[in-house]
Chains A and B, each alone.
Chain A
Amino acid sequence: MKFKRIVFFTIVFFILVVFFFALKKSNIYNTKNLIGQKIEPFEIISFENNEIVTEKNLQENNFTLINFWASWCSPCRVEHPFLISLSKTKKVKLIGVNFKDKKRNAQNFLNTLGNPYDLIVTDNNGTYSIHFGIYGIPESILIDKELKILAKFIGPIDKDDYKKIFEIIKNDKKYN
């Protein structure tokens, strides 16, 4: 009987202690704290030729903007002109992660609105994007050569975000 009591109370204490620590954790899914951290190593298949793309491909450039998009996402259409002008400046390399999309629809989207990306990878079931801390589409991450996250843009990129990208690049003394 005594043994049973000890087991019972131990389990109850354990559960309640876990609940106590859970209270201290913020439950709001906030990925802002990822800024300043390095992105985790990954292997994703490229959109065009099914080749494997890893984080090493991102180390070739001083700055890379990883943009998560899909043809079914209407705000992606809103941000698209900004991505096009960004690609023309050549200051930042653009990687598009095509999220939970059909290849044909994605291709139509790019044919109609233009292709701003230097490289496109596919994330058919959305799992890779989760590793990048993505919880909505569109979202973009600006990283430097050392794969450090400099900024995150949740939602479509607008005029202010566009300016912010240039400011970050200009102020980053390491690569200027």
Chain B
Amino acid sequence: MLSNIGNIFFILNILVTISIIYFCYHSVRDKKYNLAKIVKLSILQSTFAIMTFATLIAAFIISDFSLITVYENSHSAKPLFYKISGAWGNHEGSLLLWISIMSIFSFLYLIINEKSNSNSLLITTVCQNFLILAFLFFSLINSNPFSKILPIPPDGLGLNPILQDPALAIHPPLLYIGFVGSSIYFSAALSSLITGYNNKNFAIQIKPWVKVTWFFQSLGIIVGSIWAYYELGWGGFWFWDPVENASLMPWFAMTALIHSLIILERRESLYSWVIILCLLTFILSVTGTFLVRSGILNSVHTFANDPSRGLYILVLLFLMVVISFAIFFTKTKKETYIFENFSKEVFILSNNWFMAFYLITVFIGTVYPIFTEVLLNNKISVGPPFYNLVIAPIIIPFLFFMALGPNSSWIKFKSFDKKKFVIVLFLSIIVNLAMIKFFGGLSTLSNLIIISSLFLIIYSILDFIFSAKEKKHLNISRAVSHLGFGLLMMFIIINHNFSFEKDANLKVGETEKFESYEITFSKLRLDKRENYNALIGDFIFKDRKSGIVRNLQPEIRIYNDPETLTYEASIRTNIFRDYYLTMSNIDRSDFYNIKFQNKPFMIWIWISAIIISLGGIQRLFIFKK
């Protein structure tokens, strides 16, 4: 029943999408701009897309196991919240979310820009709807969430327990708004090339969309990272896993785009580069999707292996790159850039160089194993040492440029405030020395990163105070984001260098002493919960030096559907540090293996990352006024 309803919505959606393309094309050809009709069709399209998705959610809620997708990813005993989030926690369902976001963005872009250049707006709608159509066909033919299974199984296979988590339920929608949303400026860029609508109005038109997607992409990455920290049980928050990289690559392109849009808006320059970044952001999003969904890279993510699925996305990717860049190369005109050294334009461009460098590094690191396997038949994996080695040293000049850039002036280089530079640098070094005294020594590289982050932090605070005084609201958001980035780098380095870890095997009643700490395994109890049993260890943690006593209760969860063990970390957070404890059972013995970690300033890493994204979204509200 639900299967038929879902498929009907699919077909209706395809028909509406084709008619939107048809009417847009006719309006442009006949130069009769009838937007009202297209807006109505777009409302219909978004409604159908949402209804298709709602039908699948309904199937998950009522546990309709006649659908393969529901059977494979749900179970009747699962809590309602995870039944619902299960709808997008798999490949087929997430494609419906993808299509819904594309349709809604298409509609919103249309009504928000109703009064702008109709020609360009209609062609944007055509491009966007071709993309929607491609994904509708992909979903309907290759990855249909409404495929049936016969005979109907009595119960489902269940959702992977590590995905039954609130953070992970909201992580995909956030990320999707980010990288699927970037399709709208991909379409707008193509339309701009075709119609020659390339002045600063184009920059103003796409700017809020870039900011919104950037904000959600950032939040999505942060939420995923927080989940990995408390759920995967190894205490890390960034793994350089291919899937994490897949979300980071479009983020770099978006960040570069936000910055170069400022130049296009203010100086009507860098048009071609802005277009390249618009195209690249969505192309990288689809590339990331290809890498994850085709299963050619191993990672912690959940999508099963299906080469036919990969082939479809690859063909789409091929068409997107070839068509969009063919249009770009035929339509683009040669631009000459004359920027004076140390002008604001050059500083903003420097952001793009750094972003391009990070993007290329992460791209190479991610696809290198694929290349060695295909070309040399050699299986390798590229891990954190590569990224840390290549990326860390380049952070230092980047932080300095970020600090100095906002203080430069447009067009002409004015002498910069040497006194301020020296005082702030001196101050940063003093604070760094104080840190060494307080925490202990660090490597030269770590010290340099801390000095340069402090330099950026102080400059950004001064920038913030100055902008607030002068009521320059646009600059406040920049100061906030830059401040967040400085804090993030500093806390990551401190956390990385001063995290402490200890492993031990303990029986109930035993105490392990190390350094000034002491951990007692006081009790073990079994707790029956809604859809799993939890084996909970009661541990008492003491810091003899500071007298701190904390109760830590790590769990081993035993899920039945599917039968899986998961290890839940017990985390005690305060503003200075996280105490992190996990336990796992040792086969055929009374001993439990515990892993204790002391992670300084963990909460500040999340706060700093959130500050960065808030800076971006704050700017949007100012823009709206």
A5 and B331 CA atoms in complex are apart in Å by: 13
B317 contacts A16, C-beta separation under 8 Å: yes
Write out, one digit per residue, whether chain A residues 2-43 have a CB within 8 A of any chain B CB (1) or not (0): 000100110010011011111111011100000000000000
A18 to B363, CA, bound (A): 14
| Interface bits A65-96 vs B (CB < 8 Å: 1, else 0) | 00000000011011000000000000000000
Tell me which of B310, B325, B370 contacts A9 (CB under 8 A). B325
Q: Report the Cα distance A75→B589, complex, angstroms.
A: 12
Contacts of B321 in A (CB 8 A): 12, 16
Q: Is the CB–CB distance between A25 and B374 below 8 Å? A: yes
In the complex, whether B389 has a CB less than 8 A from a CB of chain A is: no
Contacts A9-B325, A12-B321, A23-B307 given; indicate if A18 touches B371 (C-beta within 8 A).
yes
B553 CB–A CB distance under 8 Å: no
Query: Given A27-B295, A27-B298: A78 and B588 within 8 A (CB)?
Result: yes
Contact among B296, B318, B379, B587 with A16 in the assembled complex (CB-CB below 8 Å) = B318
Complex formed: what's the CA distance from A16 to B319 in Å? 11
Could you say which of B314, B329, B379 contacts A19, with CB atoms under 8 Å apart?
B314
Asked if B325 contacts A28 (CB within 8 A), the reply is: no
- Asked whether A77 lies within 8 Å of B297 as measured between CB atoms, the reply is no
A24-B307, A27-B295 given as contacts; is B586 within 8 A of A15 (CB)?
no
Nearest Cβ on chain A to B21's Cβ, whole angstroms: 26
Docked CA distance A16–B297 (Å): 15
Q: Which of B305, B307, B314 contacts A28 (CB 8 A)?
A: B305
Interface residues in A, total, Cβ within 8 A = 22
Contacts of A21 in B (CB 8 A): 374
Q: Is B373 an interface residue (CB 8 A)?
A: yes
| Interface assignment of B53: CB less than 8 Å from any CB of chain A | no
Is B290 interfacial (CB 8 A cutoff)? Answer: yes
Query: 3 closest A-B pairs (Cβ-Cβ)?
Result: A74-B587, A22-B296, A21-B374
| B interface list, Cβ under 8 A from A | 290, 294-298, 305, 307, 310-311, 314, 317-318, 321-322, 325, 329, 334, 367, 370-371, 373-375, 379, 586-589
Complex: how many Å from CA A5 to CA B453? Answer: 40
Q: Taking each of A12, A23, A74, which has the highest tally of chain B beta carbons within 10 Å of its own beta carbon?
A: A23
Closest to B290 in A: A19
Contact of A20 among B295, B314, B325 (CB under 8 A): B314
**A22 CA to B318 CA, complexed, in Å:** 15
Cβ–Cβ contact A15 & B367, under 8 A: yes
Say whether, besides A9-B325, A16-B318, A18-B374, A27 and B305 are in contact (CB < 8 Å): yes
Q: Are A23 and B296 in contact (CB under 8 A)?
A: yes
Residues of B contacting A9 in the complex (Cβ-Cβ under 8 angstroms) = 322, 325
Give B429 Cβ to nearest chain A Cβ, in Å.
Answer: 39
Greatest chain B CB density within 10 A among A15, A22, A29, A77 is at: A22
Chain A residue contacts of B371, Cβ below 8 A: 18
Chain A residues whose C-beta falls within 8 Å of the C-beta of B297 in the assembled complex: 27
Please, which residues of chain A bring their CB within 8 A of the CB of B374? 18, 21-22, 25
Contact of A5 among B318, B329, B367 (CB under 8 A): B329
List B contacts of A22 (CB < 8 A). 296, 370, 373-374
Closest to B505 in A: A72
Q: A18, B587: Cβ atoms under 8 Å?
A: no
Residues of B within 8 A of A23 (CB): 294, 296, 307, 310-311, 314
- The residue from B311, B373, B587, B589 contacting A25, defined by CB atoms under 8 A apart: B373
Q: How far is the CA of A22 from the CA of B296 in the complex (A)?
A: 6
Chain A residues at the B interface, C-beta cutoff of 8 Å: 1, 5, 8-9, 12, 15-16, 18-25, 27-29, 74-75, 77-78
Residue of B nearest to A74 (CB): B587
CB neighbours (8 Å) of A8 from chain B are 325
List B contacts of A27 (CB < 8 A).
295-298, 305
How far apart are B50's CB and chain A's nearest CB, in angstroms? 32
Shortest Cβ distance from B296 into A: residue: A22
**Chain B neighbourhood of A1, CB < 8 A:** 329, 334
Instruction: Check A19–B586 contact: CB distance below 8 A.
Output: no
Question: For residue B587, which residues in chain A have a CB less than 8 angstroms away from its CB?
Answer: 74-75, 77-78
Q: Are A18 and B294 in contact (CB under 8 A)?
A: no
21 pairs, CB–CB < 8 Å, chain A vs chain B: A1-B334, A9-B322, A9-B325, A12-B322, A16-B318, A18-B370, A18-B371, A21-B374, A22-B373, A23-B294, A23-B296, A23-B310, A25-B296, A27-B297, A27-B298, A27-B305, A28-B305, A74-B586, A74-B587, A74-B588, A74-B589
Nearest-neighbour CB distance to chain A for B399, whole angstroms, equals: 31
Residues of A within 8 A of B379 (CB): 29
Interface pair A18/B325, CB less than 8 Å apart:
no
CA distance in complex: A19, B371 (Å): 8
Residues on B with C-beta less than 8 A from A19 are 290, 296, 314, 370
- Besides A18-B371, A20-B311, A23-B307, 10 more A-B contacts (Cβ < 8 Å) are A1-B334, A9-B325, A21-B374, A22-B370, A23-B296, A23-B314, A24-B307, A27-B296, A75-B587, A78-B587
* CB-CB nearest in chain A for B309: A23
Q: How far is the CA of A123 from the CA of B493 in the complex (A)?
A: 33
A113 to B133 CA separation, bound complex (whole angstroms): 65
Q: Within 8 Å CB of A75, what residues of B?
A: 587
Closest-CB distance, A59 to chain B (whole angstroms): 27
Nearest-Cβ distance from residue A101 to partner chain B, whole angstroms? 15
> Min CB distance, B299 to chain A, in Å?
10
> What's the Cα separation between A23 and B586 when bound, in Å?
39
Does A77 lie within 8 Å of B296, measured CB to CB?
no
- A157 CA to B323 CA, complexed, in Å: 56
- A15→B314 CA distance, assembly (Å): 11
Q: Smallest Cβ distance from B464 to chain A, in angstroms?
A: 41
In whole Å, how far is A113's beta carbon from the nearest beta carbon of chain B?
13
What is the bound-complex CA distance between A77 and B310, given in angstroms? 42
Within 8 Å CB of B325, what residues of A? 8-9, 12
Cα of A29 to Cα of B589 in the assembled complex, Å: 31
A98 → chain B closest CB, angstroms: 19
- Measured CB to CB, the nearest residue on chain B to A26 is B305
- A112, B370: Cα distance in complex, Å: 45
Instruction: Give the CA-CA distance A28 to B367 in the complex, in Å.
Output: 17
CB distance from A154 to the nearest CB of B (A): 17
Contact: B375 with A18, CB < 8 Å?
yes
Q: Please, how many angstroms separate the alpha-carbon atoms of A29 and B294 in the complex? A: 16
Bound CA span A83–B201, Å: 77
